[in-house]
Amino acid sequence: MATELSALAQSGERPLGDPSGSAPDAVPTNLELKRSLDSLRIAREVTHITVIDAHALARICLSRCLEAAGTDFSTASYASVQEWQQAHDRKATAIVLLCAVGEKATEAASKKDVAQAVHIAPESRVIVVSDREEPALIVEAIDGGARGYISMNSSLDVVIAAIKLIKAGGTFIPVSGMLASHQISSTRQNAAESRGHATGRFTDRQLEIITRLREGKPNKIIAYELQMGECTVKVHVRNIMRKVNARNRTEVAFLTNELFETA
């Protein structure tokens, strides 16, 4: 066999299975593969997400799910906004997820934690994640500075899509929140129109008298303050009672509440 190989070498012929005559390409090692992957990670943009949840298991699970979902997310989790603020290794974060369970916790997150998170990291976008979907809580969170509100009934795909949307500059709220915003706006408009209509039923002088009637002032004091005769005040009071169908001054005060409700 050695003689045959020697003869092949002298003749310049290559042995079967080695058409190039060179050694086969070296298989990359695990270390080399890791370095290649690391170089790719450096090139891509990674979104850092801060998960804040008082429940350790919930925040750890959410963090791991986001990182394992095949997206370019990195996460850090804390039990509270205060713990996050005091952390020495706190990173610049693109997204802050404020997780809350229950009405009281969600209300606290919407009122206090959102404002505090925005103050700590103005460049970040704050999202409330809650099991409560009351329209008032959703609207309150958005009015407080949150850029999104995600229901805990949402799938992980919806959460990821919402995070990407908000990171790109959008706002995400459940459909119920959109309807609530419209309903609140309509209610305020209707109330303003109602007050305007009710106010139009009375003259300016009658409105001044109604204001003083509601303060419990007698006709004599009203006449003095408005510089008119007491008999004139009595006539105005009778006309006011007739317009609101009131039997006495107390009913006048009650039936004219709509004129003095704050917007």
pTM (two decimals): 0.54
pLDDT surpasses 60 at 43: no
Question: Would you state the structure tokens that stand for residue 202, as one six-digit string?
Answer: 């009375």
What pLDDT does residue 262 have?
45
Which H helix or E strand runs over 196? helix 175-199
Torsion of CA 10, 13, 17, 20, to 10 degrees: 100
Percent of the chain with pLDDT over 70: 70
Hey, how many other C-beta atoms are within 10 angstroms of the C-beta on 197? 10
Residues 148-189: tens digit of each pLDDT: 999 998 899 999 999 999 988 888 887 655 555 555 555 555
Q: What does the pLDDT average to over 73-83?
A: 93
Q: How far apart (Å, rounded) are the C-alpha atoms in residues 147 and 165?
A: 10
Contact by Cβ (8 Å): 151, 121: no
Q: How far apart (Å, rounded) are the C-alpha atoms in residues 244 and 231?
A: 20
Domains of the chain (ranges; CATH) run 35-177 (3.40.50.2300), 191-259 (1.10.10.10)
- Residue pointed to by tokens 């917007």: 263
Give every CB contact of residue 164 below 8 A, 6+ residues apart in sequence.
Answer: none
Instruction: Mean pLDDT check: name the lowest of 21-35, 106-120, 156-170, 204-218.
Output: 21-35
Q: How far apart (Å, rounded) are the C-alpha atoms in residues 213 and 233?
A: 11
Q: What does the pLDDT average to over 55-70?
A: 91
Mean pLDDT in the chain?
78
What pLDDT does residue 249 have?
81
- Residue pointed to by tokens 């949307």: 165
Total count of residues recorded for the chain = 263
Residues 80-138: tens digit of each pLDDT: 999 999 988 788 899 999 999 998 999 999 889 999 999 999 999 999 999 998 888 88
Instruction: Mean pLDDT check: name the lowest of 23-37, 79-93, 200-214.
Output: 23-37
Which H helix or E strand runs over 52? strand 47-52
- Residue pointed to by tokens 């959703």: 138
